[in-house]
Amino acid sequence: MNQAPPDTIKLQRNTQQLQLSFGEKTLTLTAELLRVCSPSAEIRGHGGDGGKPALAKGQVAIIDVQLQGNYAIKLTFDDGHDSGIYTWQYLRDLGENQAHHWQLYQESVERYKAQQLGQESPVTWVDARTQT
């Protein structure tokens, strides 16, 4: 299902937030969240094998926003990352479910760190919304 494009897209350079307006709803996404949740193969992995989480991106800045047809935008970050294509549907989901996406990111960081140390993660994440 194709998502309609936002009515407006604004990059607030002073706060490093991207604002998207879909009718009456305005979503605000931080550069950090957009960077660590990039839909690129670098982050998601090639062929579903899981990628490497983007670490220490709290100070990352968006330096360019380019439309990709009528379905997405491409963001360029000051750390050189520019390979993620953010569809309207993904941006809307990211904006409406920020806490969930941030939790998934934190879990991927914990798994990555545990793999780097060659040990199991001391943290077990449970999503209370899926528990019955």
Q: List, in order of start, the domains of the chain with CATH numbers.
A: 8-130 (3.30.2020.30)
Q: Please tell me the distance from the alpha carbon of residue 113 to that of residue 2, in angstroms, as a whole number.
A: 36
Is residue 20 within 8 Å of 91, Cβ to Cβ? yes
Cβ of 122: how many Cβ atoms within 10 Å? 7
Give residue-wise pLDDT tens across range 52-104.
Answer: 888 989 999 999 999 999 999 999 999 999 999 999 999 999 999 999 999 99
Return phi, psi of residue 111, to 5°: -60, -45
pTM of the complete model:
0.83
pLDDT number for residue 91: 97
